[in-house]
Amino acid sequence: MNGAVLVTGGTGVVGRALVSGLVATGRRVILLSRGMQPIRFANGAEHLHGDVAKPALGLEQTAYTQLAEQITSIYHLAARTDFKSSEVEEYVPINIDGCRNVLALAHRAGAHLHHVSTAFVCGTHAGRFGEHQLECGQKFRNGYEHSKFVAERELRRLADQNGVPLTVYRPSIILERKPDSASAIGFGPFVFLDAVFRLLLSPAYRQHGSGVIRIAGSSISQLPFIFDDDVARALLAISASDACKGQTYHLVAKQPFANTALEDIFNRAFGRKVACWVDQREFESRPPDKGERIIARKTAMYSPYLDLTVQFSRTNLDLVMGEDFCRSVTPDEVFRAFHYFLQAKKNSDNVVVHSTEQQAAVREYFTSFLPVIMGKNLIDNLVSLSCNFWITVEQLGHYSLVIDNGKLTDINTNRQGAFGYRIGAETFLQVVTGKMTPQQGFFNGSIEIEGKMLEALQTAVALEEFFRLKPFIV
């Protein structure tokens, strides 16, 4: 138990959370990855350059022998996780041969192997799927699911044959709680966000877009989401007990996430209604437009997961861990993850919005984004704010806002009120997207005040939190 621990896949979504947790326990952690220098290297973990698809994990003989002498447990997370191919053969080297190679190391080291599989080894099975089940006549949606199924079956056989202690963990659909610019590559529901985000940015869509984008998916379907850090926490807690040897655990939340809630959060993240989930038959009566066809093509690999009919039981998990582990994800948590993702996309893609698009975005802010919150509190701690002011956006004209006891009660295109702000479209968008505070705008001269100076400054300070908490997504 006290020897070093090897983590494969430690640079991935779950691996990063797991490595941090393991390092915090004070154990010596060795992370194996294909990179010479793993990105976002977890503090305190050692790095070994290797490849699970190769015999001896691609290590020199001496390094392999030393590793086998030092480790007492292995967390095997490395996998090819995309759904690009329907052919299991394409996943064999990493997902199946990789498992055999890692098991061979566990055997040589006398180490306990913690294998991260997936709940979707159940394939297209409908109804309940238990932790004790594996083969149930299922078919597979893609080569990834199929390869994880074969890998799990093969590992069980080899572990039995060689007397290797094996524990299998099967997470469901993992969401990264706080995606950043390095991780915003798009996975699971983020693929839908990414596709819609890009479509909304395209100049053609901005001019001719047909409004709400329809995405095929059942409204009664439920998505078994779980957060990356909750998976890591459960892995750490379960693996700390010897009783987990020979067991399989579904790392799934008690309650899945309703598809209808996903639609709601999706639109909240964009700040307005941009998409809706519809039954496939809807497209027979009104065929998809160009934008909807683009979205369908880009998300085709993940769309079968919007129509799930499986329920994963978690008897073993509840038995050892109780209900506190793998909690059901809440709409607010999903919203925050989506929001981080969109922010990260904007930063990483270095999105350049040209001036005509900037002007269109400013108009959109006043005609679509703000009207949605008309009559509602801007944010909870602005309930005492009452004011009437105008904003003059260069080359666009005036917009006046009336705020009464924290509620937005009127927007019009007159120049009315006690004070106003003169601002360019670019600066305006930086402020309402939360990238620049109004104060920074005053200091660098990109925002000018007209009328009552003190009231204008106080109002801008008060609104700063609103821009931060309710950012506009361009």
The contact set with ligand NAP (CB under 6 A) reads: 8-15, 33-35, 38, 51-53, 77-81, 94, 98, 116, 118, 148, 171, 173-174, 188
Taking the complex as a whole, how short is the minimal distance between the CB of residue 427 and ligand NAP, in angstroms? 37
Region of residue 326 (phi > 0: left; psi between -120 and 50: alpha; otherwise: beta):
left
Number of Cβ within 10 Å of residue 382's Cβ equals 18
Q: How far apart are CA 231 and CA 454, in angstroms?
A: 51
- CB 165 within 8 Å of CB 112: yes
User: Residue 22 or residue 94: which is nearer to ligand NAP going by CB?
Assistant: 94
User: Residue 183 or residue 459: which is nearer to ligand NAP going by CB?
Assistant: 183
User: Residue 36 or residue 454: which is nearer to ligand NAP going by CB?
Assistant: 36
Taking the complex as a whole, how short is the minimal distance between the CB of residue 49 and ligand NAP, in angstroms? 9
For ligand NAP, which residue has the nearest CB? 12
User: Residue 77 or residue 385: which is nearer to ligand NAP going by CB?
Assistant: 77
3-state SS class at 320: helix
Taking the complex as a whole, how short is the minimal distance between the CB of residue 43 and ligand NAP, in angstroms? 17
Taking the complex as a whole, how short is the minimal distance between the CB of residue 136 and ligand NAP, in angstroms? 18
- CB 71 within 8 Å of CB 5: yes
Taking the complex as a whole, how short is the minimal distance between the CB of residue 264 and ligand NAP, in angstroms? 22
3-state SS class at 105: helix
Q: What share of the chain is helix, strand, coil (3-state, %, to 5)?
A: 45, 20, 35
User: Residue 98 or residue 438: which is nearer to ligand NAP going by CB?
Assistant: 98
Taking the complex as a whole, how short is the minimal distance between the CB of residue 177 and ligand NAP, in angstroms? 12
Taking the complex as a whole, how short is the minimal distance between the CB of residue 119 and ligand NAP, in angstroms? 7
Q: Cα dihedral angle (206, 210, 216, 222), rounded to 10 degrees?
A: 70
Taking the complex as a whole, how short is the minimal distance between the CB of residue 149 and ligand NAP, in angstroms? 11
* Six token digits for residue 258: 């309703």
User: Residue 8 or residue 247: which is nearer to ligand NAP going by CB?
Assistant: 8
Q: How far apart are CA 406 and CA 402, in angstroms?
A: 10
Taking the complex as a whole, how short is the minimal distance between the CB of residue 216 and ligand NAP, in angstroms? 21
User: Residue 182 or residue 243: which is nearer to ligand NAP going by CB?
Assistant: 182
The beta strand positions in 179-304, using DSSP E, are: 213-216, 222-223, 225-227, 248-251, 257-258, 275-278
User: Residue 50 or residue 271: which is nearer to ligand NAP going by CB?
Assistant: 50
- CB 447 within 8 Å of CB 350: no
Burial label for 2, CB within 10 Å (0-12, 13-18, 19+), is exposed
Taking the complex as a whole, how short is the minimal distance between the CB of residue 80 and ligand NAP, in angstroms? 6
Those residues with Cβ within 8 angstroms of residue 274's Cβ, 6 or more apart along the chain or in another chain: 196, 200, 212, 213, 266, 267
User: Residue 77 or residue 317: which is nearer to ligand NAP going by CB?
Assistant: 77
User: Residue 9 or residue 143: which is nearer to ligand NAP going by CB?
Assistant: 9
User: Residue 312 or residue 390: which is nearer to ligand NAP going by CB?
Assistant: 312
- CB 425 within 8 Å of CB 393: yes
Q: Match 């750490």 to its residue by tokens.
A: 236
Could you tell me the CA-to-CA distances from 370 to 27, 211, 303, 385, 412 in Å, in that order?
Answer: 51, 17, 32, 17, 11
Q: How far apart are CA 435 and CA 350, in angstroms?
A: 13
Longest Cα–Cα distance of the chain, Å, equals 83
Taking the complex as a whole, how short is the minimal distance between the CB of residue 185 and ligand NAP, in angstroms? 8
